[in-house]
Amino acid sequence: MVKKVEKEGKKAGRSKKVKSIKKEVQGKKKINKKEEKVKGSIREDIKEHLKVVEEKLKDPKTKENLKKMVEKTEKGLKTFGAKILELAEVVKEDTIYGAKIGKLKLKVMDLESKRMKKLRTLGETVYKLVQEEKLQDSRVNDLCQQLLAIEENIRKYQEEIKVTGKKFKKVNF
């Protein structure tokens, strides 16, 4: 008896599915019919517009105006294209020149750095020669005296830093 009820239940369930599928198919058919009506209407509208355009194209003034418009457009596009090519060339050249300038500036900075190192070495050599009394020149002697005063001030401040540093209380964690 249970099996019989199950079979009938399955049949009933299947018939509900079949009915719902049929309804769905019918709904799609209705939608397709509506789509065809709309498509047909659109086709008719397009045909009407094409007829109007064809009639206007028969008018010599319209043809002449279209011809002028096409010529202006072509001329404008050619000019625009030429401007774009010119701009691309300028950007390309600017990039090349910019890179060259950058490289040259780096070379100049490198040479200036080397120059400063040589001047420093020269100055230190001259200073040592003056201290050893192997070089006598009043201008160089004056500069060396100024340098000695600066070195004395440096030593004073370094000593003050040491004394002040000892006064700091160090906290250990």
Region of residue 118 (left: phi > 0; alpha: psi -120 to 50; beta: else):
alpha
The tally of domains found in the chain comes to 1
| 93 domain-assigned | no
Cα separation, 163 vs 78, whole angstroms: 81
| 54 domain-assigned | yes
- pLDDT at position 2: 44
Higher pLDDT: 131 or 168? It is 131
pLDDT band at 73 (very low <50, low <70, confident <90, very high): confident
Residue 133's alpha-carbon distances to 75, 119, 136, in angstroms, are 85, 21, 7
| 46 domain-assigned | yes
Give the list of residues 6+ apart from residue 63 with CB closer than 8 angstroms, or none. Answer: 57
**pLDDT tens by residue, 37-59:** 766 777 787 778 777 777 777 77
| 9 domain-assigned | yes
Contact 127, 147 (CB under 8 A): yes
Instruction: Please identify which residue in the block is written with the tokens 């701009």.
Output: 87
Domain ranges, residue 20: 1-58
| 53 domain-assigned | yes
| 42 domain-assigned | yes
| 24 domain-assigned | yes
Give the list of residues 6+ apart from residue 57 with CB closer than 8 angstroms, or none. Answer: 63, 66
| 95 domain-assigned | no
- pLDDT at position 13: 58
**pLDDT tens by residue, 3-39:** 554 555 555 556 666 667 766 667 666 666 766 776 6
**CA torsion angle 65 70 74 80 (round to 10):** 70
> 59 by DSSP, 3-state: which?
coil
Contact 150, 158 (CB under 8 A): no
